[in-house]
């Protein structure tokens, strides 16, 4: 029987790449996220056609705990099991702490951190019953180090690493692993969107943000590839990674080696 994965925030960026990689490995996919309905349907159908898996879509709002838990129930109902959860949904806002809008703080904590609590809490009973499960949290290098003007994002990603470790300890004897992937900068819509905000906050040009702020943090001087993140997720979901749990794995071009 094929395993099934739910990937939050999988209609674009990292989540979309992870969905593609897991589908290519033979895993059924529950997509989630916002976007144009026709584009999402095309993505869903493409996964089925290319890889012979079953792919479904659920538009659960990642700020709503009830909808998030219903997403897990829908995955079980429509795909037959909940074997893999990839907590990827995320948003960003760049602003000094004393000017940080309260509504932006609340939304970032809800989507980037609290949503992962809800998916994990709802999925673990299914995984325990099956005696096998994988939780992969897409954190960030900002779960390991901080940057100015990103207080909510940094706090949320640090929180994700704590949730990862606690989940790993609670499931250590259940055939379940929980790990966090900590990417450096990836050229996703989320990163593209924060370039002008960072330029405004720092009083520099957008080109200078890319050269002197974003890629300055990565000794390789290049963005992390979406295919790299997909491949690492597939590995963590394999039996070869069954003894890796509670880990925070940087894939950041050497950023956090400094």
Catalytic annotation, residues: 153
Q: Quote the pLDDT of residue 258.
A: 81
Could you give the CA distance from residue 64 to residue 115 in angstroms, rounded to a whole number? Answer: 8
Contact status, residue 103 vs residue 91, Cβ threshold 8 Å: no
The DSSP-derived string for 105-122 is: HHHHHIIIIIHHHHHHHH
- Domains in the chain, please, with CATH? 4-184+224-249 (3.40.50.720)
Q: What digits encode the pLDDT tens for the residues 69-79?
A: 999 999 999 99
Q: What digits encode the pLDDT tens for the residues 159-193?
A: 999 999 999 999 999 999 999 999 999 988 777 88
Radius of gyration of the chain (CA): 18
DSSP code, position 98: G
pTM of the shown model: 0.94
Q: What digits encode the pLDDT tens for the residues 212-240?
A: 888 888 999 888 999 999 999 999 999 99
Length of the chain: 258
Could you give the CA distance from residue 140 to residue 249 in angstroms, rounded to a whole number? Answer: 9
> For residue 133, what is the enclosing H or E element?
strand 133-138
Looking at per-residue pLDDT, the higher value among 83 and 215 belongs to 83
Could you give the CA distance from residue 254 to residue 128 in angstroms, rounded to a whole number? Answer: 36
The DSSP-derived string for 179-230 is: EEEEE----SHHHHHHHHHHHHHHT--HHHIIIIIIGGG-TT-SPPPHHHHH
Torsion-angle region of residue 218: left (phi > 0), alpha (psi -120 to 50) or beta?
A: beta
Both tokens of 252, joined, read 């950041």
Mean pLDDT of the region 27-34:
98
């Amino acid at each position: 029987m094929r395993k099934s994965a739910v990937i939050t925030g999988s209609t674009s960026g990292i989540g979309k790449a992870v969905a593609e990689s897991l589908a290519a490995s033979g895993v059924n996919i529950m997509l989630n996220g916002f976007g144009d309905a026709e584009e999402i349907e095309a993505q869903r159908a493409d996964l089925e056609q290319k890889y012979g898996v079953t792919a479904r879509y659920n538009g659960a709002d990642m700020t709503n705990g009830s909808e998030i838990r219903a997403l897990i129930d829908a995955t079980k109902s429509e795909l037959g099991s909940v074997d893999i959860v990839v907590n990827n949904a995320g948003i960003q806002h760049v602003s000094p702490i004393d000017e940080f809008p309260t509504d932006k703080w609340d939304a970032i904590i809800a989507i980037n951190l609290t949503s992962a609590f809800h998916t994990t809490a709802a999925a673990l009973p299914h995984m325990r019953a099956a005696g096998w499960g994988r939780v992969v949290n897409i954190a960030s290098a900002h779960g390991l180090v901080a940057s100015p003007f990103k207080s909510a994002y940094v706090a949320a990603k640090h929180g994700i690493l704590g949730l990862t470790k606690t989940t790993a300890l609670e499931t250590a004897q259940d055939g379940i692993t929980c790990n966090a992937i900590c990417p450096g900068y990836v050229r996703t819509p989320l990163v593209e969107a924060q370039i002008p905000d960072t330029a405004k906050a720092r009083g520099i040009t957008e080109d200078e943000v890319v050269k002197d702020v974003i890629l300055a943090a990565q000794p390789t001087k290049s963005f992390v590839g979406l295919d790299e993140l997909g491949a690492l997720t597939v590995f963590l979901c394999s039996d070869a990674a069954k003894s890796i749990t509670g880990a925070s794995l940087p894939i950041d071009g050497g950023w956090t080696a400094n």
